[in-house]
Chains A and B, each alone.
Chain A
């Protein structure tokens, strides 16, 4: 069985398939003013994440992974090209859970609902359901600082789901967690992804994590950040991070990544 195909992710044929959940066309982002200094951070990125897709973006530091997410999240504008997001809005998660420490776990989730205009009567009940979804129904009234790193990320996940976006963007969300907790959260994320059907763009520097989670893996080059290679991961879920097939593809992708990084040594 082939575990990967190095072709581009299936671009939906016009008219038949639904629009992508995330669609980047010829996106270039440069922080330098026109004509001065340095290469752009991102150059000519074409990326389509289908509805309910799961695309992992990997690359060495300085490849513009986080910039890519900022553009999709609408926190930043591309210098040229187009960014289209289904529903016009994407929920965003970071390595730091960034829960508001003056609110309890439940109130953090409720705030997301409140800012979307959900009525007070409904907020409490919906926040409770969302916390139950990440199996933290018992932690509603706990102050955030009493939660472990993994629990905080799950609250952040519940808060992101409260936004009911069709797209979830994750910027190395599990990088600061210990291996067991990360493993558990991988299962949790896949379960929620399958339940909610949202499209996920997941940035990581951990190749194994990318293969463990993603349906597609995109490798970005550095300076400028361009799409250097793409893989479709055809290992069925549920996968485990220690699966031989996962390891095998991870080795192949890591090889590409190493090559990509060593190009910079010769300059």
Chain B
């Protein structure tokens, strides 16, 4: 009976093709993902200390890690830096969310409409290359030293990245997917929702990640330059204050806090998002 044979062969093939899972223990995973960055940080600290010990510069110009640690602890204990962190993070997140709301439809339109792409694509790419700190003077002249100026700089920094990330994601959608979507009956909006956007998601998430980095950088640049009670006291302001007071310890403290926020947002938001998107599409291994 050929039919019965075929059934058995099919079942056998399926069984042989079942994925063999190699479980990875929590400890191993921890060792693989946490240990290397810790070692890298330790190495930087060691090099830093070595440079300080070599006494190329007096210690008020280049304080050692221990001193910075001390001044950081001091600043943290006094509690004046926490509001700065809170304020900057709030501004950054609001600006980023606004950038997503503007950049996403923009990217979708530029990615799918040829005339718009020819017209706006190069402008977006150019904007992405322009250091967003360049927007601070005109923004202040236009809006005055107000939060609107800050948000303007953040938007001009982040929107192009988000839009272009989505465009490159759209460019990588296999044409076959669109064909299949059409054959399945997905028209216009349904096609965008069920085929185009999910297929472009990896590029889009990359754009979001870069968009956040640009938003955060732009905000810091704006905060350092624009000073007004209306803007409150962000991390950039803290850095400027350290410069005015000649307090290298505080300056390093501010830089480390700025770094920490960037790293934390990446670690808590974008890294898991990216991992999930890639893993669900089989683009990265089951364990990293």
User: Which A residues are within 8 Å of any B CB, using their own CB?
Assistant: 73, 75, 91-92, 94, 96, 98, 100-103, 111-112, 114-116, 135-136, 139, 143-148, 150-151, 159, 163, 180-181, 183-184, 187-188, 191, 238, 240
Contact = CB atoms under 8 A, between A and B. Distances in A.
Contacts of B201: 102
12 contacts: A92-B179, A94-B180, A98-B174, A145-B282, A150-B13, A180-B9, A180-B13, A184-B9, A184-B10, A184-B13, A238-B2, A238-B3
B190 A115 contact: yes
A102 B199 contact: yes
Contacts of A114: 194
B10 A143 contact: no
B230 interface: no
Contacts of A146: 19, 282
B213 to A, nearest CB: 25
Given A115-B185, A145-B281, A151 B14 contact: yes
Interface of B: 2-3, 6-7, 9-11, 13-14, 17, 19, 174, 176-177, 179-180, 182-186, 190, 194-195, 198-199, 201, 277, 280-282
Given A102-B280, A184-B10, A188-B6, 18 more contacts: A91-B183, A94-B176, A94-B180, A100-B199, A102-B201, A135-B10, A135-B11, A139-B14, A146-B19, A148-B14, A150-B13, A163-B184, A163-B185, A181-B13, A184-B13, A187-B6, A188-B10, A191-B3
Given A145-B281, A148-B17, A98 B198 contact: no
B199 to A, nearest CB: 7
B183 A73 contact: yes
The B interface, classified by DSSP as helix, strand, loop or mixed, is helix
Contacts of A151: 14, 17
A102 B186 CA distance: 16
Nearest to A145: B282
Contacts of B194: 111, 114-115
B14 A143 contact: no
Nearest to A139: B14
B10 A240 contact: no
Contact of B17 (A111, A135, A147, A240): A147
A102 B198 contact: yes
Contacts of B177: 98, 100
Interface centre among B9, B11, B14 (most CB of A within 10 A): B14
A148 B20 CA distance: 13
Contacts of B281: 101-102, 145
Nearest to B9: A184
A211 B194 CA distance: 38
A216 B14 CA distance: 31
A153 to B, nearest CB: 12
Contacts of A135: 7, 10-11, 14
A144 B183 contact: no
A205 to B, nearest CB: 19
Q: Which of B3, B13, B174, B199 has the most CB of A within 10 A?
A: B13
Contacts of A111: 184, 194
Nearest to B281: A101
A183 B6 contact: yes
A116 B186 CA distance: 9
A184 B179 CA distance: 27
Contacts of B190: 115
